[in-house]
Amino acid sequence: MKKTLYIILFCACSFFHACNDYLDVVPDNVATIDNAFTDRTSAEKFLFTCYSYLPQFQMPQTNPAFFGGDEAWLFPKGSYLTASFGSTATWDIARGNQNVVEPLVNYWNGSSGGRPLWIGIRDCNIFLEKIVSPRDIEEYERVRWIAEVKTLKAFYHFYLMQAYGAIPIVDENLETSSKPEEVRVERKSIDEVVTYIVGLLDEAMVDLPDVIQDKGTELGHITKPIAAAIKAKVLVLAASPLFNGNNVYSGITNEAGEPLFPSAYSNEKWIVARDAVKEAIDIADAAGNKLYKLKNSFLQVSDSTKLKLSLRNAVTEKWNEEIIWGATGGTWTIQRLCQPRLESMDALNGNVQNAFSPTYRMAELFYTKNGVPIDEDKTWDYDNRLELQTADENHRYYIDKGYETVKLHFDREARFYSSIGFDGGIWYGAGRDDDENTWHLEMKAKQIAGLRGPTNYPITGMVVKKLVNYKNIIGSGSSYTIQEYSFPVIRLSDLYLLYAETLNESKDAPDGEVYEWLDKVRTRAGLNGVVDAYQTYSTNPDKVSSKDGMREIIQQERMIELAFEGHRFWDLRRWMRSEEMMNQPVRGWNVQEESADKFYKPVILFEQSFTQKDYLWPIKEHDLLVNTKLVQNYGW
């Protein structure tokens, strides 16, 4: 019987996550490992075990990039939140509760929402050692499986490096007869780790397919575009300020006194990263990846709505052509967290949690309709953005006609309207596929999508629209049918923006090539090219001409295009901008109020704090006692 990968992964997770000991390089089931490779069927099960350690990218309870930063917030912590949301470990990171005793979202040990990635690496090593045994496997399949597992092993090292910085390299498992001092591995330098990961990925790409041929049985398997994109991400991280010229870490050494982090800046790293990103784009292009555009010609809707749906569907249309790497299944959790209550929904409907709330800073982040920041557009009334305005016919595809809302919501770019659900905003879909009969949100206190009780309400007065499939259906009796999608871990627009970034960083000044790749993303979003937009509408028209100015523009473009998809959290860290962004109050609308004039007064929800030590996860205190060769991360 055909089985998709995610079904088997679910089963595998239940059997192979028992041990949480530090860096478990010696398997505790040595006597049975050989039995796992007696034939093809058994070996394939072990292959799925290697996949089972992948982070649950689509799960906000385990992916720190959703609630661990400053993009989104939740209603007050307490029993109601725990019952609705489950573990709040990711949000606790944003609230400054990371610690060395029981680290939050601990991917080193596999606790508090984190997967045990060192055990995952161990199982990958077992697979690579033992896969020569089964004789009933076709050789081409054996070669491909080896390439898949090498990619997984490289990615697990990368994910650990992203969170912890310099890490050990575990290329082979130790023998069961190894002495205690041999088991105590030490952290290697960032440059050594990067070289190792890239080497694994280069080996793997040779034997990976460009595309999945049998979508009925193999969706979720690693492909060449995935491996190339991971390689690009690794090298961009290595070139970024966190690991390239960061003097804060200059004194951190391993037991032998060797520095773990490079203190000298290297422009060559940006050049290497640039070439790797272009390679990944070329490989994706050869595999048929391209920026998504709405194809549903049967939808009789305005061009404005088609544009909003193109931007939304780039995320929520299952396995669309823009997705290079998608996480299979499980998006029902995040969709019900984002889905606001609409006119016919009961307030206590468990499938509609109405709680994934963008922060006020995210509402201000998106451009005006002219494609420049709201505080730079000389035609947009920034100073009066909190005044009230009534929506007219010209705005009816974005805001309910006749609805009184705040000026901040008017004349914004399409990505604002496709990403954020706000009071008075149009909510296309959910069973209404006609521009003349759409839902709109009512989010003030006691309104259908607002504060009506102690739980399941948007604490900032907004919800994330971007992650909800417009094809979800509201049925009778407040039933809600969710259409699953493949959550995009990496999509093509991500690579285009990385390429623009690496081009800009590797040159003395921006040029047409930098603008070209940025404009590919802007054009799909319905915006003019960056040079034209800034020279026509910006109070700072020369911004596009300088390297520093384009750096700021490209970074904002990434934060807009990839908002709420789990990128800003890591990007702010690699750019070393988290201290700038996350030492500001978290704010939202005053959801306790019923009238518009009081509701639209931004209030402080939390005084967020971020220090230099928070750029990297701490290693658990107990691990430092067990392995004296380890050194703790800066500040912990």
Residues 373 and 384 grouped into a single domain: yes
pLDDT digits (tens, 9 = 90+) for 601-618: 999 999 999 999 999 999
Nearest 5°: phi and psi at 541?
-65, -20
pLDDT band at 415 (very low <50, low <70, confident <90, very high): very high
Residues 308 and 277 grouped into a single domain: no
Residue pair 556/538 in contact by the 8 Å Cβ criterion: no
DSSP string, 533-552: HHHHHBS-GGGGGSHHHHHH
What are the residues whose beta carbons fall under 8 Å from the beta carbon of 515, sequence distance 6 or more? 529, 530, 531, 544
Residues 253 and 154 grouped into a single domain: yes
Residues 277 and 257 grouped into a single domain: yes
In terms of C-beta distances under 8 Å and separation of at least 24 residues, what long-range contacts does 131-134 make, across chains too? Answer: 131/37, 131/43, 133/34, 133/37, 133/38, 133/43, 134/37, 134/38, 134/39, 134/40, 134/42, 134/43
Burial of 248 (0-12, 13-18, 19+ CB in 10 A): middle
Q: Per the domain annotation, does 106 fall within a domain?
A: no
Q: Per the domain annotation, does 58 fall within a domain?
A: no
Report d(CA 312, CA 342) in Å as an integer: 19
Number of domain units in the chain: 3
In terms of C-beta distances under 8 Å and separation of at least 24 residues, what long-range contacts does 513-522 make, across chains too? Answer: 514/550, 515/544, 518/553, 518/554, 518/557, 520/291, 520/493, 520/496, 521/291, 521/493, 521/496, 521/497, 521/557, 521/561, 522/371, 522/557
Report d(CA 558, CA 575) in Å as an integer: 12
Examine the fold and report which residue of 222, 255, 288 is the final residue of a domain before the chain moves on.
288
pLDDT digits (tens, 9 = 90+) for 85-117: 778 999 999 999 999 999 999 999 999 999 999
Amino acid at position 204, single letter = A
Parallel/antiparallel/unpaired status of strands 480-481 and 473-474: antiparallel
Question: Residue 32: what pLDDT?
Answer: 74
Q: Per the domain annotation, does 627 fall within a domain?
A: no
Question: Residue 1: what pLDDT?
Answer: 37
Q: Per the domain annotation, does 163 fall within a domain?
A: yes
Amino acid at position 262, single letter = P
pLDDT band at 182 (very low <50, low <70, confident <90, very high): low
Residues 559 and 455 grouped into a single domain: no
pLDDT digits (tens, 9 = 90+) for 16-49: 333 334 344 444 554 478 788 999 999 999 999 9
Residue pair 418/460 in contact by the 8 Å Cβ criterion: no
Q: Alpha-carbon dihedral of residues 164, 167, 172, 177, nearest 10 degrees? A: -100
The share of the chain scoring above pLDDT 90, in percent, equals: 81
Residue pair 234/204 in contact by the 8 Å Cβ criterion: no
Average pLDDT, stretch 62-84? 85
Report d(CA 166, CA 252) in Å as an integer: 10
Question: Residue 178: what pLDDT?
Answer: 53
pLDDT digits (tens, 9 = 90+) for 483-504: 999 999 999 999 999 999 999 9
pLDDT band at 343 (very low <50, low <70, confident <90, very high): confident
CA neighbours closer than 13 Å in the CB half-sphere of residue 19? 15
Return the residue matching tokens 């090298």.
Answer: 235
Structural domain including 524 reads 489-615
pLDDT band at 79 (very low <50, low <70, confident <90, very high): low
Question: Residue 214: what pLDDT?
Answer: 84
Other beta carbons within 10 angstroms of residue 169's beta carbon come to 17
Q: Per the domain annotation, does 272 fall within a domain?
A: yes
Question: Residue 25: what pLDDT?
Answer: 43
Report d(CA 264, CA 257) in Å as an integer: 17
Residues 346 and 438 grouped into a single domain: yes
Average pLDDT, stretch 167-178? 79
Lowest mean pLDDT among 17-21, 75-79, 122-126, 509-513: 17-21
Residue pair 322/289 in contact by the 8 Å Cβ criterion: yes
> Per-residue pLDDT for 80 more than 80?
no
pLDDT digits (tens, 9 = 90+) for 134-167: 999 999 999 999 999 999 999 999 999 999 999 9
Question: Residue 12: what pLDDT?
Answer: 36
The share of the chain scoring above pLDDT 70, in percent, equals: 91
Residues 327 and 424 grouped into a single domain: yes
Residue pair 463/337 in contact by the 8 Å Cβ criterion: no
Query: CA nearest 312: which of 396, 398, 417, 441?
Result: 417
Nearest 5°: phi and psi at 182?
-75, -30
Question: Residue 507: what pLDDT?
Answer: 97
Question: Residue 7: what pLDDT?
Answer: 30
Residues 282 and 326 grouped into a single domain: no
Q: Per the domain annotation, does 79 fall within a domain?
A: no
Residues 276 and 259 grouped into a single domain: yes
Q: Per the domain annotation, does 202 fall within a domain?
A: yes
Q: Per the domain annotation, does 525 fall within a domain?
A: yes
Examine the fold and report which residue of 231, 264, 288 is the final residue of a domain before the chain moves on.
288
What radius of gyration do the chain's Cα atoms show?
25
pLDDT band at 4 (very low <50, low <70, confident <90, very high): very low
Residues 225 and 207 grouped into a single domain: yes
In whole numbers, what is the pLDDT of the chain averaged over residues? 91
> Per-residue pLDDT for 378 more than 70?
yes
End-to-end CA distance of the chain: 51
Q: What angle do CA 536, 538, 540 make, to 5 degrees?
A: 120
Specify which residues 440 forms β-bridges with.
426
Examine the fold and report which residue of 471, 488, 505 is the final residue of a domain before the chain moves on.
488
Question: Residue 134: what pLDDT?
Answer: 94
> Per-residue pLDDT for 223 more than 70?
yes
Report d(CA 289, CA 326) in Å as an integer: 13
Question: Residue 2: what pLDDT?
Answer: 38
Residues 26 and 162 grouped into a single domain: yes
Residue pair 457/591 in contact by the 8 Å Cβ criterion: yes
Question: Residue 477: what pLDDT?
Answer: 63
Question: Residue 83: what pLDDT?
Answer: 65
The total number of residues shown for the chain amounts to 636
Residues 577 and 525 grouped into a single domain: yes
What are the residues whose beta carbons fall under 8 Å from the beta carbon of 342, sequence distance 6 or more? 427, 430, 439, 441, 448, 449, 474
pLDDT digits (tens, 9 = 90+) for 545-604: 999 999 999 999 999 999 999 999 999 999 999 999 999 999 999 999 999 999 999 999
| Tokens read off for 484 | 């699953």
